[in-house]
């Protein structure tokens, strides 16, 4: 009997709250898809290092899943409380008929159970279908060949989804039971008839609060964009974030009072068509929804930043590889380690390795009976030098104290890397990047790590002279020049001092580099070569001699692809969940308001308002509620993204626009879709049936 | 005098072929310009159905209704809405004021959906506020004023568009006797001084006694029609009570 009642209730309300079920199904599906990612990669032919990255990615994703389940859990609890409120009268009738509260709880229990099971089944089915498409995307990102299409089903992800969502539904049941046991009959019966008092806020107070909030918000923007380098600890960022959150709340709070006042003074506009009605509805509604509007605004803000930042990182990572990894392989060999015996002992090298450190990388390979150069089509060898007499203390010179105040976290006593100009030009020619020339008494610095460039430029601008091996050198340029030696997926060159060849004392040679291009371009053959180089580490000689450390294009590429895929998936996962959650909350709110407003629209119809005018009013009302948090979120995002790009500058930020476009497409489709569905459902609700 | 409303042999059936209910059965009458007509009848006599048909909220099964020469049974869609907002004024038992808007804005809405200019809206509201004695409550919200005041605001909204016909459905139904008397006096004023044509549905003899003509309906047909003529309101009230008694006393409990 109770079961049948529950079923009928669901059937009755499924039309009005289709959007809620739709969101639940989407949530389940997305949860499954991202947790089933690993099963899609199993049948792909990927290297072991990629496999490790996938494992790392899955660990990250399952951590994110816990967070996601919290968000979805809140959404479900919020929504079910909402749906409960709408049915107060129904419960009131049950109670007057003599049904016990326990039985009402039981009805709700059955309902939640049905909805839960239904959404899980449909959502999982949808998720399984969706994950087939996902495997294409995954294969594409890992640049793996998906030779034949295989249907994959991840039972572990399926079980995980069921467990997580069961817990969420269980919590909802508990919440429902508590709220039923707390309610009073009179409130249930009269709930919908309660006359809402319209409180108008003091306009002057609103203006003052609005101005103060705007100033605070502006200050927060300024901090994150212009003063981010002075943020000394990670926790310092919490200050502008808190400022942003509070000012967002108060801006919405004051806007609710302000907009009505402003438009009311524009009498010509206010008394036109249904404008007065729309605005009154708006201000009466926003009064009660300042908090949720704030939450939605912030969620949208996070979504926009997350999506565009993650996509940018992915794009620029791939872009960086092309630029920053111009050669196939680079091997570096520490030399003259005994000169800095204590330092190297500290790093964990043994006595023999330190003693036997007078070979170049090529010579060292020979000792291991490996003729590396026979695999190379062409190669170069260059050296770098270092001395305790030239540290950042010396290069920064007189500006040191000013800089130290601003950047206290830098290690000022680390040795600078020194390179002969001719050696560097050899590298530059090999890489195909810009070459430089120096006069006898000049030096220059090449770097590509933005934050370090900023610091070094202060001293260079000040024409800081350095003293090296008894020579006084003046800076040729008043800023760092573009360039790098070590291949990497990011801009990590914090600065190399280029000096005239004649200045350098060979005794201070510290590292030898061997850079080459393979004869072969075949990926499998290169893998074989690099595998045999890695195998040298198992040679018994490796205890006595230090093997050159290598960074190769192939290895860097694989690591980057893994990292960028991880970042993309986490961004997509969180972004979509945030987006559908906030859109669903808005949609539910508007739909339930539409049922409340049915009466108002009926009155408007009775006094002869055109159907078109009514629909327009409804459209505008819903549009305002969807757009208002979005506008502020976009403004937040402009500064948020700028900040994120500054922080993540090692990744480069050349590719911002395409990712913003992609983010916008996501927003328009998901958020806009929810908006349209809400509008059509609301239109259905206010439609008069006779 | 010209007819503002002419109801011609209308019928309204409810239900399916197997169980047919005749809510209105071959009913005809006329209302002249400047008349104040009350329609009386017991619950289920068909008076509200009649009003709904005239106000175009409901459709007749057969017959014609002419308002100022226009056959409203032929109107459709937006023409219907246009007709309703330009030619008719409504007063409902439960006021139907929008609770989010002030009294002033509620009245203004009837004009703003007709795209009347702001200055004209203001001028007309000021005038009607004097006529209906609601000047000092214009800036208040519905929840801040009494039932009688609400109904006068609703009346102001109904007449501000200068409609050909004002339709009132149990306007005193939700009011106490003092407020009801005050409202009806205003109706009398609107009718006498501003020549407003009013068609009012009620089952209260006292309310009906303010009209100049009372039409009694029973089982969807006209039972009797009486005119006030030159008699005093007290005499007219007695006359109405006589008919009510004749009708079967169903209405007595309403007194």
Say if residues A311 and A304 touch (Cβ distance below 8 Å): no
Euclidean distance between the first and final Cα of chain A, in Å? 32
**What radius of gyration, in Å, describes the C-alpha atoms of chain B?**
18
Given a cut of 90, whether residue A213 has pLDDT beyond it is yes
CA A660 to chain centre: 13
State the average pLDDT over residues A622-627. Answer: 91
ipTM above 0.85, yes or no: no
State the average pLDDT over residues B198-207. Answer: 90
Provide long-range contacts, Cβ within 8 A and 24+ apart, for B145-149. B145/B103, B146/B179, B147/B95, B147/B174, B147/B175, B147/B176, B147/B179, B148/B175, B148/B176, B148/B178, B148/B179, B148/B180, B148/B182, B148/B183, B149/B103, B149/B179
Angle (nearest 5°) at CA A108 between A103 and A111: 130
With 0-12 / 13-18 / 19 or more C-beta atoms within 10 angstroms meaning exposed / middle / buried, residue A311 is buried
Given a cut of 80, whether residue A87 has pLDDT beyond it is no
- In the structure, what pLDDT confidence band is assigned to residue B215 with cuts at 50, 70 and 90? very high
The confidence score (pLDDT) of residue A300 equals: 92
The confidence score (pLDDT) of residue A690 equals: 45
Tell me the C-alpha distance between B37 and B212, whole Å: 6
Could you say which of A276, A284, A610 has the minimum Cβ distance to residue B78? Answer: A610
**Selected residue with higher pLDDT from A462 and A411:** A462
Question: What's this model's pTM, rounded to 2 decimal places?
Answer: 0.78
Tell me the C-alpha distance between A175 and B100, whole Å: 32
- In the structure, what pLDDT confidence band is assigned to residue A135 with cuts at 50, 70 and 90? confident
Chain segment B32-88, per-residue pLDDT in tens: 988 999 999 887 788 888 888 888 888 888 899 998 888 888 888 778 888 888 888
Element housing B91 (H / E) = strand B88-91
Tell me the C-alpha distance between A60 and B48, whole Å: 68
**Selected residue with higher pLDDT from A607 and A195:** A607
Tell me the C-alpha distance between A155 and A149, whole Å: 19
- In the structure, what pLDDT confidence band is assigned to residue A197 with cuts at 50, 70 and 90? low
Could you say which of B96, B118, B143 has the minimum Cβ distance to residue A197? Answer: B143
Say if residues B165 and B31 touch (Cβ distance below 8 Å): yes
State the average pLDDT over residues A203-212. Answer: 88
Given a cut of 90, whether residue A389 has pLDDT beyond it is no
Which residues, 6 or more positions from B232, have their beta carbon under 8 angstroms from its beta carbon? none
Given a cut of 50, whether residue B255 has pLDDT beyond it is no
CA B58 to chain centre: 15
Average pLDDT score over chain A:
82
Chain segment A217-269, per-residue pLDDT in tens: 999 888 888 776 665 566 677 888 889 999 999 998 888 778 888 888 888 88
Given a cut of 70, whether residue A689 has pLDDT beyond it is no
Chain segment A411-441, per-residue pLDDT in tens: 777 888 888 888 888 888 888 888 888 888 8
Average pLDDT score over chain B:
86
Tell me the C-alpha distance between A679 and A378, whole Å: 66
The confidence score (pLDDT) of residue A134 equals: 80
**Chain B interface with A: residues with Cβ < 8 Å:** 57-58, 77-78, 81-86, 88, 90, 92, 96-101, 105, 108-113, 115, 118, 121, 141, 143, 157
State the average pLDDT over residues A531-544. Answer: 78
| Distances A114 to A9, A75, A111 between C-alpha atoms, Å | 11, 18, 5
Tell me the C-alpha distance between B210 and B237, whole Å: 9
The confidence score (pLDDT) of residue A39 equals: 73
**Selected residue with higher pLDDT from A56 and B130:** B130
Given a cut of 50, whether residue B31 has pLDDT beyond it is yes
Give bridge partners of residue B213 from the DSSP assignment: B37, B227
Work out the number of other CB atoms within 10 angstroms of the CB of residue A202. 10
Given a cut of 60, whether residue B135 has pLDDT beyond it is yes
State the average pLDDT over residues B148-165. Answer: 89
Give bridge partners of residue A516 from the DSSP assignment: A329, A379
The confidence score (pLDDT) of residue B199 equals: 93
Binary contact (A612, B110; C-beta < 8 A): no
Counted residue by residue, chain B has a size of 255
Given a cut of 90, whether residue A619 has pLDDT beyond it is yes
The confidence score (pLDDT) of residue B249 equals: 54
Given a cut of 80, whether residue A195 has pLDDT beyond it is no
A328 close to B (CB below 8 A) = no
Tell me the C-alpha distance between A341 and A347, whole Å: 10
Contact residues, chain A, for B85 at CB < 8 Å: 607-609
Which residues, 6 or more positions from A102, have their beta carbon under 8 angstroms from its beta carbon? none
Chain A segment 233-292 residues within 8 A of B by beta carbon are 267-268, 271-277, 280-281, 284
The confidence score (pLDDT) of residue A216 equals: 92
Tell me the C-alpha distance between A607 and B85, whole Å: 6
State the average pLDDT over residues A81-106. Answer: 80
- In the structure, what pLDDT confidence band is assigned to residue A409 with cuts at 50, 70 and 90? low
In a 13 Å sphere around the CA of A323, the CA atoms on its Cβ side amount to 17
Give bridge partners of residue B169 from the DSSP assignment: B201
Given a cut of 80, whether residue A200 has pLDDT beyond it is no
At residue A126, the 3 state secondary structure works out as helix
| Distances B206 to A264, B38, B214, B241 between C-alpha atoms, Å | 42, 11, 12, 9
Tell me the C-alpha distance between B93 and B81, whole Å: 21
Which residues, 6 or more positions from B242, have their beta carbon under 8 angstroms from its beta carbon? none
| Phi and psi, residue B28, nearest 5° | -140, 140
Binary contact (A609, B113; C-beta < 8 A): yes
Could you say which of B78, B84, B99 has the minimum Cβ distance to residue A195? Answer: B99
Q: Phi-psi region for residue A376, left (φ > 0), alpha (ψ -120 to 50) or beta? A: beta
Minimal CA–CA distance to A114: which of A146, A153, A80? A80
- In the structure, what pLDDT confidence band is assigned to residue B252 with cuts at 50, 70 and 90? very low
Looking at residue A481, the DSSP 8-state letter turns out to be B
Work out the number of other CB atoms within 10 angstroms of the CB of residue A671. 21
For tokens 């792909």, name the residue. Answer: A44
- In the structure, what pLDDT confidence band is assigned to residue B211 with cuts at 50, 70 and 90? very high
Given a cut of 60, whether residue A43 has pLDDT beyond it is no
Per-domain residue ranges of chain A:
1-195, 196-325+559-579+604-690, 358-545
The confidence score (pLDDT) of residue A143 equals: 64
Q: Which domains does chain B have, with CATH numbers?
A: 3-250 (3.40.50.300)
The confidence score (pLDDT) of residue A655 equals: 64
The confidence score (pLDDT) of residue B254 equals: 44
A609 close to B (CB below 8 A) = yes
Structure tokens at A75: 């959404």
State the average pLDDT over residues A292-297. Answer: 89
Binary contact (A276, B96; C-beta < 8 A): no
In a 13 Å sphere around the CA of A268, the CA atoms on its Cβ side amount to 0
The confidence score (pLDDT) of residue B200 equals: 92
Tell me the C-alpha distance between A490 and A203, whole Å: 53
Tell me the C-alpha distance between A557 and A318, whole Å: 8
| Phi and psi, residue A155, nearest 5° | -70, -30
Structure tokens at A256: 């609710």
Contact residues, chain A, for B141 at CB < 8 Å: 198
Given a cut of 60, whether residue A594 has pLDDT beyond it is yes
Say if residues A427 and A380 touch (Cβ distance below 8 Å): yes
How close A688 gets to chain B, by Cα (Å)? 11
Contact residues, chain B, for A260 at CB < 8 Å: none
The confidence score (pLDDT) of residue A214 equals: 93
The confidence score (pLDDT) of residue B38 equals: 93
């Amino acid at each position: 009997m109770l079961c049948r009642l529950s079923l009928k209730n669901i059937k009755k309300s499924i039309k009005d709250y289709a959007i809620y079920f739709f969101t639940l199904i989407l949530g389940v599906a997305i949860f499954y898809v991202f947790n089933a990612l690993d099963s899609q990669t199993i049948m792909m032919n990927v290297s072991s290092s990629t496999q490790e990255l996938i494992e790392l990615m899955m660990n990250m994703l399952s951590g994110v899943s816990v967070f996601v389940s919290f968000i979805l859990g809140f959404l479900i609890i919020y929504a079910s409380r909402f749906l409960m409120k709408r049915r107060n009268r129904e419960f009131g009738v049950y109670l007057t008929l003599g049904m016990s509260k326990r039985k009402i709880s039981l009805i709700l229990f059955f309902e939640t159970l049905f909805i839960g099971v239904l959404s899980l089944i449909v959502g999982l089915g949808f998720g399984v279908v969706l994950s087939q498409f996902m495997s294409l995307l995954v294969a594409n990102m890992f640049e793996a060949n998906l030779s034949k299409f295989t249907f994959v089903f991840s039972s572990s992800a399926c079980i995980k989804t069921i467990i997580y969502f069961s817990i969420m539904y269980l919590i909802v049941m508990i919440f429902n039971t508590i709220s039923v046991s707390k309610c009073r009959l009179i409130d249930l019966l009269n709930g919908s008839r309660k006359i809402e008092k319209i409180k108008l806020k003091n306009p002057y107070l609103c203006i003052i609060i609005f101005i103060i909030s705007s100033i605070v918000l502006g200050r927060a923007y300024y901090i994150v964009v212009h003063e981010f380098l002075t943020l000394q600890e990670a926790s310092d960022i919490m200050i502008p974030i808190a400022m942003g959150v509070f000012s967002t709340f108060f801006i919405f709070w004051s806007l609710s009072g302000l907009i009505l006042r402003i438009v009311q003074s524009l009498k010509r506009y206010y008394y036109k068509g249904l404008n007065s009605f729309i605005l009154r509805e708006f201000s009466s509604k926003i009064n009660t929804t300042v908090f949720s509007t704030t939450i939605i605004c912030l969620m949208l803000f996070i979504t926009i930043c997350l999506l565009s930042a993650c996509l940018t990182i992915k794009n620029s990572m791939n872009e960086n590889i092309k630029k920053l990894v111009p050669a196939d392989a680079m091997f570096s060999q520490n030399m003259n380690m005994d000169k800095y015996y204590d330092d190297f002992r500290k790093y964990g090298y043994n006595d023999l390795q330190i003693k036997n450190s007078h070979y170049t990388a090529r010579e060292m390979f020979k000792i291991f009976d490996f003729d590396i150069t026979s695999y190379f089509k062409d190669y170069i060898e260059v050296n770098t030098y270092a001395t305790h007499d030239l540290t950042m203390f010396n290069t920064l010179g007189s500006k040191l104290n000013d800089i130290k105040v601003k950047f206290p976290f830098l290690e000022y006593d680390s040795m600078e890397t020194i390179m002969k100009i001719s050696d560097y030009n050899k590298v530059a020619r090999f890489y195909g990047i810009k070459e430089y020339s120096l006069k006898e008494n000049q030096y220059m610095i090449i770097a590509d790590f933005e934050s370090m460039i900023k610091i070094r430029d202060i001293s260079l601008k000040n024409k800081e002279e350095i003293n090296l091996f008894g020579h006084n050198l003046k800076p040729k340029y008043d800023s760092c020049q573009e360039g790098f030696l070590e291949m990497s997926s990011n801009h990590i060159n914090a600065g190399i001092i280029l000096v005239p060849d004649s200045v350098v004392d060979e005794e201070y040679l510290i590292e030898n580099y061997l850079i080459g291009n393979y004869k072969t371009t075949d990926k499998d053959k290169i893998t074989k070569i690099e595998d045999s180089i890695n195998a040298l580490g198992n040679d018994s000689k490796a205890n006595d001699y230090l093997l050159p450390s290598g960074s190769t294009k192939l290895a860097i590429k694989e690591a980057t692809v893994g990292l960028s895929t991880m970042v993309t998936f986490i961004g997509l996962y969180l972004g979509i969940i945030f987006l559908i959650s906030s859109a669903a909350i808005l949609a539910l709110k508007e739909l339930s308001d539409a049922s409340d407003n049915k009466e108002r629209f009926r009155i408007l119809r009775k006094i002869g308002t055109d159907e078109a005018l009514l629909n327009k009013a409804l459209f505008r009302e819903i549009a305002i509620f969807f757009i208002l948090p979005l506008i502020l979120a976009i403004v937040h995002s402009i500064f948020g993204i700028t900040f994120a790009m500054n922080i993540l500058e090692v990744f480069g930020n050349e590719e911002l626009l395409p990712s913003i476009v992609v983010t916008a497409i996501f927003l328009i489709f998901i958020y806009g879709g929810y908006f349209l569905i809400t509008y059509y459902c609301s239109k259905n609700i206010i439609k008069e049936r006779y | 005098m010209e007819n503002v409303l002419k109801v011609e042999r209308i019928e309204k059936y409810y239900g399916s072929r197997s169980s047919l209910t005749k809510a209105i059965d071959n009913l005809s009458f006329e209302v002249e310009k400047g008349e104040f007509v009350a329609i009386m009848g017991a619950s289920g006599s068909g008076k509200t159905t009649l009003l709904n048909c005239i106000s175009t909220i409901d459709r007749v099964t057969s017959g014609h209704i002419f308002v100022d020469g226009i056959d409203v049974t032929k109107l459709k869609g937006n023409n219907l809405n246009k007709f309703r907002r330009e030619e008719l004024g409504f007063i409902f038992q439960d006021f139907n004021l929008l609770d989010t808007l002030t009294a002033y804005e509620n009245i203004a809405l009837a004009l703003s959906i007709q795209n009347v200019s702001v200055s004209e809206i203001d001028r007309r509201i000021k005038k009607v506020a004097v006529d209906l004695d609601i000047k000092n409550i214009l800036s208040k919200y519905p929840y801040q004023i009494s039932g009688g005041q609400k109904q006068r605001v609703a009346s102001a909204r109904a007449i501000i568009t200068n409609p050909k016909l004002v339709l009132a459905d149990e306007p005193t139904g939700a009011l106490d006797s003092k407020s009801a008397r005050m409202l009806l006096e205003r109706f009398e004023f609107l009718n006498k001084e501003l020549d407003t044509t009013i068609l009012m549905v009620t089952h209260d003899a006292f309310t009906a006694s303010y009209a100049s003509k009372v039409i009694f309906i029973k089982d969807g047909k006209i039972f009797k029609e009486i005119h006030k003529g030159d008699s005093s309101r007290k005499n007219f009230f007695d006359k109405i009570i006589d008919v009510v008694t004749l009708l079967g006393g169903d209405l007595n409990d309403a007194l």
